[in-house]
Structure 1
Amino acid sequence: MTVRAVELIRSADVVAYHCARHGRSNARAIAAQYLGTQVEEALTYPVTTESTDDYQGRIDAFYTDAAARLAAHLDAGRDVVVLAEGDPFFYGSYMHLHKRLAHRYVAEVVPGVTSVSAASAALGTPLVERDEVLTVLPGTLGEDELVRRLADTDAAAVMKLGRTFTGVRAALRRSGRADEARYVERASTPTERQGRLDEVDPASVPYFSVGIVPSRVHVETTEAARADGEARSLAASEASTLAASGSKATPSTGPTGPTGPTGPTGPTGGIVTVVGLGPGARDRLTPEAATALAEADDVVGYATYVARVPPNPRQRVHGSDNKVESERAAFALDLARTGRRVAVVSSGDPGVFAMASAVVEVASQDYPEVPVRVVPGVTAAHAVAARIGAPLGHDFATISLSDRLKPWDVVERRLAAVAEADMVVALYNPASRSRTWQVEAAREVLLKFRDPTTPVIVGRDVDGPEESVHVVELGTLEPSEVDMRTLLIVGSSQTRWTPTGAVFTPRRY
């Protein structure tokens, strides 16, 4: 309890608390040592978890009556303290009294430690780290909704377990988060219990328990830190042994120099690692990519992509325009030449219409002594495909509709060749503010070989805040709905659009 809470309880004329019909109150038990001669008001719920035909009506009437009882004390000049477990405004019962009384009387709300924070502390595991997102979910949500929200977040806390536990556990399993989930019951009390949520007996779970899906970044960085610590201890031990024996250590070398934490480094110890950030969501970033980013001294890239890298006060960040790929590559290689470990970032996979090609090309021409390593990422095409089913199940091609780096007649010839070969095609860079006619031109080329009813997946800002993925027929594709943040997947003659909205291309032809 906070110092302010204890002060108010001790000085109050009236102490109120909620309880079930059995009369026991967890809130009162927590504050019991600070109670003296105060008048006590037990606010007894008419119903708790049992089913009833008019649950909301009975609860509303209860809160109205409880507010009236407290108002009588306030009108008589008595100070009233309402005890609330955790924080009063965090799924707390007090908020219903606040709505009915705060406009009539002076109300001070003293914040408390939530069960989520207490559970995290009990587990000794951070909830979130860096720019991860924490989602707090009531277990009373429907299972499908829980699955969706658990799959979309970095970390989660699931409240109100008890009778909802079986559904919550099923949702964790369906979302692929069950192995990460931890269970904490009555956190910070003498009867606290914790363990792996998937191993808990549902019959033993009380309402006052919480499920925690903790920080993935913390797990990854903790493992890396431990490995680094073990490596340093081993190195120190070996160095001590060498010193004692009068031996001289020789560094191991790779193809281009000593081995660094992200691969073989150059003569100065520098290296350029081209890192794929994936389509957007943090859980699409591979552990290898996360490690490469964490170990870099400098982060270089298009400003929009650099902004997606978790801030690290040790690093220098260099954002630039998206039209200077060769200059950006040379800048990164110059840094590495001086001994810096440089991460050049791209969205999706860096080898697919992205920075890996530019870095490798410039390095081969002017920086042969600087090693370049490429860390793959989830491509936009695969991210969009996964949202809708399996449209890339058979042979497919990827074509950029941008004619900035190749003539449009080349684009047309390649579109025609892929369409005539009856392959699914993923269209990158379909449009921008200055390129507005390419989508319609591409559609006309494809319609020479494809039926107008061919399904086209329109994926925009996948994993971003404005994500939308839908399917249209090729003949009705509206070019004005397509922009630079959109990726199109055009099906083949074998691609199927099911009544449920899924799209797939069979593996057999």
Structure 2
Amino acid sequence: MSQLGKLYGLGVGPGDPELLTLKAHRILTTVPVIAYPSLENGKVLARAIVTDFIRPDQIEIQMPLPFSVERSSQPHYDSAAEKIAEQLNLGRDVAVLCVGDPMLYGTFMYIFTRLCDRFSIEVVPGISSVMASAAMLGVPITYRNDVFSIMPGTLEAEILRDRLSFVEAAAIIKLGRHFSKVRGILEELGLLERALYIERATLPNQQIIPITEVDSVAVPYWALILIPSNSKPQ
């Protein structure tokens, strides 16, 4: 019986290729197979981040995913997992590229849950957009015993309002078309003055815009709002 390949979940960071870890770079440049998500609009951000490190002889597996959160991703992940499993069964190691960190709202998690009982898996952490955004915005997130919350803007308004009503520090991710809803809730809760908006953190087209000047129609999925701690440093 041939030896099975090993599956890697590689966090490739928020966008700047120089934020790729040494370990992720080593694995990326040595595995025979790489896989990465592609959206319906043709965007392949994970691959684009590391495009200069990909060898022409590497096998590439695209994982098409629905762009709309209303559409089920399950059959797409099922199909991607089986394509990856085919390579692993042939004894080839496979690295799945994931923007940010693989285990923090990462696409790799859904591959992991489908294959973790069949193959050896190693996860390589990456810098998340939340941490990168704090650095780009130049603000500390928390002090001392502050509790930091991360929540998706896709939550229902009532749930989001309830979660934000008692936060000490927070990041609201996956904004896109949900920006207006989130902005309204922040204003209602008196958090708008503390809220900082950034999109495409660390990428060449990164933008930091005063939240009151953001065009809600133009807000991308890769945007977030950071609410840093209101505690006083000592």
TM more than 0.5: yes
1:129 to 110, 129, 143: 143
- The reply to whether residue 208 of structure 1 matches residue 228 of structure 2 is no
User: 2:48 aligns to what?
Assistant: 29
CA-to-partner distance for each residue in 1:135-157, whole Å, 9 max, x for gaps?
11110111122222212011110
1:198 to partner: Cα distance: 2.8
Q: Is the 1:17–1:43 Cα contact (8 Å) retained in structure 2?
A: yes
1:9 to 7, 25, 28: 28
User: 2:108 aligns to what?
Assistant: 94
* Mapping for residues 32-111 of structure 1, pairs under 5 Å: 32-36=51-55, 37-45=57-65, 47-49=66-68, 51=70, 55-56=71-72, 59-111=73-125
- The reply to whether residue 182 of structure 1 matches residue 202 of structure 2 is no
Q: Is the 1:179–1:198 Cα contact (8 Å) retained in structure 2?
A: no
- The reply to whether residue 143 of structure 1 matches residue 162 of structure 2 is no
- The reply to whether residue 166 of structure 1 matches residue 180 of structure 2 is yes
SS in 1 for 2:50: helix
Aligned counterparts of 1:198 and 1:99: Cα–Cα separation in 2: 40
1:50 to partner: Cα distance: 6.7
Q: Is the 1:181–1:198 Cα contact (8 Å) retained in structure 2?
A: no
The percent identity for this pair of structures is 37
Q: Is the 1:151–1:176 Cα contact (8 Å) retained in structure 2?
A: no
SS in 2 for 1:137: strand
* Number of aligned positions between the proteins: 214
What residue identity is the alignment partner of 2:129? Answer: S
1:20 to 39, 43, 60: 39
User: 1:306 aligns to what?
Assistant: none
Aligned counterparts of 1:139 and 1:22: Cα–Cα separation in 2: 21
Aligned counterparts of 2:148 and 2:213: Cα–Cα separation in 1: 23
What residue identity is the alignment partner of 2:61? Answer: E
Q: Is the 1:17–1:28 Cα contact (8 Å) retained in structure 2?
A: yes
What residue identity is the alignment partner of 1:30? Answer: I
- The reply to whether residue 193 of structure 1 matches residue 212 of structure 2 is no
SS in 2 for 1:40: strand
CA-to-partner distance for each residue in 1:218-274, whole Å, 9 max, x for gaps?
xx44xxxxxxxxxxxxxxxxxxxxxxxxxxxxxxxxxxxxxxxxxxxxxxxxxxxxx
Aligned counterparts of 2:150 and 2:25: Cα–Cα separation in 1: 28
Q: Is the 2:132–2:202 Cα contact (8 Å) retained in structure 1?
A: yes
What residue identity is the alignment partner of 1:98? Answer: F
Aligned counterparts of 1:102 and 1:140: Cα–Cα separation in 2: 28
Aligned counterparts of 2:41 and 2:214: Cα–Cα separation in 1: 26
1:199 to partner: Cα distance: 2.2
Q: Is the 1:144–1:171 Cα contact (8 Å) retained in structure 2?
A: no
CA-to-partner distance for each residue in 1:190-235, whole Å, 9 max, x for gaps?
1110132232110111000110001212xx44xxxxxxxxxxxxxx
Aligned counterparts of 1:125 and 1:7: Cα–Cα separation in 2: 32
- Point out where structure 2 has 5 or more consecutive residues left out of the alignment: 1-19
SS in 1 for 2:124: coil
Aligned counterparts of 2:210 and 2:102: Cα–Cα separation in 1: 28
1:23 to partner: Cα distance: 2.9
Q: Which has the higher helix share?
A: 1
SS in 2 for 1:11: coil
- Report which structure shows greater RCO (CA 8 Å, sep ≥6): 2
Aligned counterparts of 2:166 and 2:82: Cα–Cα separation in 1: 43
Aligned counterparts of 2:188 and 2:37: Cα–Cα separation in 1: 36
1:49 to partner: Cα distance: 1.6
What residue identity is the alignment partner of 1:187? Answer: A
TM-score (norm 1): 0.41
User: 2:13 aligns to what?
Assistant: none
TM-align CA RMSD: 1.2
Aligned counterparts of 1:138 and 1:85: Cα–Cα separation in 2: 16
Q: Is the 2:41–2:67 Cα contact (8 Å) retained in structure 1?
A: no
